[in-house]
Amino acid sequence: MADKRTIETILNLVTGEITEVEELFKDPVTREAEIFQLRTKIEKNIQTNTIELVCIYCKQAVAIRGRKRKEEGSHFFFAHPFKSQPCIIKTDSRFTEDQIRRIKFNGAKESDLHNKLKGLIGHYLNEHPDVHDVKIDEVYRNKAISHEWRKPDVLAVYKNHTIAFELQLSTTFLSVVVGRTLFYQNQNVFLIWIFANFSLTNDLQKFTQKDVFYNNNFNVYVFDQQAWEKSKLEGQLILHCFYQVFYIEGEQVLNKWEERFITIDQLTFELVKTDVFYIDAEKSKAAAFEELGAIKQRELEEFVNKRNKFVVERAIKAVRQCYKWGYVPGIREYDPFDEIDTPERIELLNEQLGFSTKNVDFVAKLFYKREKPDFLKFLCLKTVINIDTTLLANDGKNIFEELHGIDDLFEFKQYITFLFSKGYKLTEKDRELNERIYDKNYWNQSDHEKEQIHRWGYVLMCSEVISRNLMFDLLNKHRIIFAIASVKHDILISYGYDTLKQLVHHILDRHKDYGVLFIQALEKFDRMNLLLAEDKKGKLRAKIEAFNQNISEQESRYNQLIFEIFPELYI
DSSP code per residue over 420-449:
HHTT----HHHHHHHHTSS-TTS---SHHH
DSSP 388: -
DSSP 61: B
73-82, 302-311, 320-329: which is most confident: 302-311
Single pTM value for the model: 0.62
Q: Is residue 468 part of a domain?
A: yes
Say yes or no: 143 and 240 in one domain: yes
Between CA 403 and CA 413 the distance in angstroms is 9
Q: Which pLDDT score is estimated for 96? A: 44
Between CA 25 and CA 179 the distance in angstroms is 25
Q: Is residue 115 part of a domain?
A: yes
Say yes or no: 469 and 547 in one domain: yes
96-105, 185-194, 341-350: which is most confident: 341-350
Instruction: Judge whether residue 436 has pLDDT over 50.
Output: yes
Instruction: Judge whether residue 101 has pLDDT over 50.
Output: no
Show Cβ contacts of residue 395 under 8 Å, excluding neighbours closer than 6 positions.
Answer: none
Q: Is residue 347 part of a domain?
A: no
Q: Which pLDDT score is estimated for 331? A: 52
Say yes or no: 20 and 127 in one domain: no
As for how many domains the chain has, the answer is 3
What share of residues in the chain are helix, strand, coil (percent, to 5)? 50, 15, 35
Supply the angle between the helices 281-325 and 373-381 in degrees, to the nearest 10. Answer: 160
Say yes or no: 86 and 102 in one domain: no
Show Cβ contacts of residue 323 under 8 Å, excluding neighbours closer than 6 positions.
Answer: 372, 375
Query: What CATH number does the domain containing 152 carry?
Result: 3.40.1350
Q: Is residue 432 part of a domain?
A: yes
Q: Is residue 288 part of a domain?
A: no
Task: Classify burial at 108, counting beta carbons within 10 Å of its beta carbon; exposed 0-12, middle 13-18, buried 19 or more.
Answer: middle
71-75, 168-172, 368-372: which is most confident: 368-372
Q: Please count the CA atoms within 13 angstroms of the CA of 24 that sit on its side-chain side.
A: 21
Say yes or no: 33 and 139 in one domain: no
Instruction: Judge whether residue 179 has pLDDT over 80.
Output: yes
Say yes or no: 15 and 124 in one domain: no
The domain in which residue 118 lies consists of 98-279
What pLDDT, in 10s, does the model give residues 284-309?
A: 999 999 999 999 999 999 999 999 99
Look up residue 37 and give its amino acid: Q
Say yes or no: 451 and 553 in one domain: yes
191-205, 341-355, 384-398: which is most confident: 341-355
Instruction: Judge whether residue 310 has pLDDT over 90.
Output: yes
Q: Is residue 325 part of a domain?
A: no
Say yes or no: 400 and 484 in one domain: yes
Instruction: Locate all alpha helices (DSSP H) within 157-224, ordered by sequence.
Output: 174-186, 207-213
The residues with which 55 forms a beta bridge, in sequence order, are 10
Between CA 569 and CA 381 the distance in angstroms is 28
Q: Which pLDDT score is estimated for 129? A: 95
pLDDT confidence tier of residue 515, bands split at 50, 70 and 90? very high
What is the arithmetic mean of pLDDT over 407-422? Answer: 95
Between CA 425 and CA 423 the distance in angstroms is 6
The CB-based long-range contact list for 84-93 (8 Å cut-off, 24+ gap) reads: 84/58, 84/60, 85/58, 85/60, 86/58, 87/55, 87/57, 87/58, 87/60, 88/57, 88/58, 89/6, 89/7, 89/55, 89/57, 90/6, 91/6
- Answer with the one of 220, 252, 279 that is the final residue of a domain: 279
How far lies 567's CA from each of 423, 517, 524, in Å? 19, 12, 11
Q: Is residue 27 part of a domain?
A: yes
Say yes or no: 89 and 223 in one domain: no
Say yes or no: 126 and 266 in one domain: yes
Say yes or no: 67 and 115 in one domain: no
Say yes or no: 547 and 427 in one domain: yes
Instruction: Locate all alpha helices (DSSP H) within 280-408, ordered by sequence.
Output: 281-325, 343-353, 360-369, 373-381, 399-404
- Answer with the one of 93, 112, 131 that is the final residue of a domain: 93
Between CA 382 and CA 346 the distance in angstroms is 11
